[in-house]
Structure 1
Amino acid sequence: MFNLLPQNLKQKIKSEYALRRMVVILSFVIFLQVSSIVFTLPLWFISGFKEKEAVLQKKYMDNSTLFKNTDSISDIVFDTNAKLRVINNVLSYPKFRPLVDIIIQSKSENIYISGINYKYTDVTTANIVIIGIANKREDLVAFVKTLEGTKVFQTVHLPVGNLAQDKNINFSIEISLI
């Protein structure tokens, strides 16, 4: 039907179609802009109120005597940290992390460690107590022998009372370091 129209009417229909398409596109864009303004307006009001509240809190903190002394407190903390760093560098004590790694590597899957207590006695010695549960007596004895075989620990002491049960043994192993 469109091909039966004369050329000038075809041109007029095409231009009117393009005009209507532009009107639809522009109305959609205007709708998007209006809806975005409507949805962001409450957020804008809320952020304005929060900004005013933050400014009031800052003024209150600036006037508070507690916060006026924070500079001197931060200086004290900074000096204390510097002194602790010096003390830490002067003292040499056994590092804990490598010892825990050795203990964990020495245990089998049938040994469950529930706690490790580390007591630093003086500059050269420390004590470790390993607390846990072993599935079988043989697994516990093998764990103790593996710890003794590492040659990192001076003594590995397993109380005989821990070997009274045959299964699900609660144990406590005492280890001394030099």
Structure 2
Amino acid sequence: MSKTFSVQKMAIIALMTAVLCILAPISIPVFISPVPISLGVLAIYLTAYVLSPVDALISVIIFILLGTFGLPVFSGYSGGLSKLVGPTGGYIIGFLFTVYISSLFIHMKKGIIFDVIGMITGLALCYILGTIWFSYQQGKGFIASLLLCVVPFLIGDAIKIIVAVILGTQLNKRLAHLDL
């Protein structure tokens, strides 16, 4: 069997999907926004550290499919197609961009600053996609939606990036021998 489809690689993809499924539902409702504070973005960043861009993308696709088919893996222990096509569904789809771009930057191994730039870039695309979708769903302007769904989360997402750099760097060191 080729290295690309090794049992070890599939197990790590499955493990990171499980991490997503465990952390992403943990959320705190925010009274000023329909988008809750969630550990989903942190789980996305950790997945980006552990897996190559393509493998990280596969892990998030599996996560989204599990949620779409009704498993309670989205924020607030919710799931189902209605969550994906609802007002915050664009942010869930945006996770695909966040994980791929973050992993791409991280696996270039140019240093922590480059890792952070990748995470910010990936999250910015998630924010843009999610905000466009939210605006469409709710009939609100883009700026109003941005102020409602993104601005309140910037500090928390900055903290998640710091935590991801600390944990992700350690995970990479510990998993380096696996040659993923």
Smaller-chain TM-score range?
Answer: under 0.3
Q: Which has the higher contact order (CA 8 A, sep 6+)?
A: 2
With the length of structure 1 as denominator, give the TM-score of the two structures: 0.24
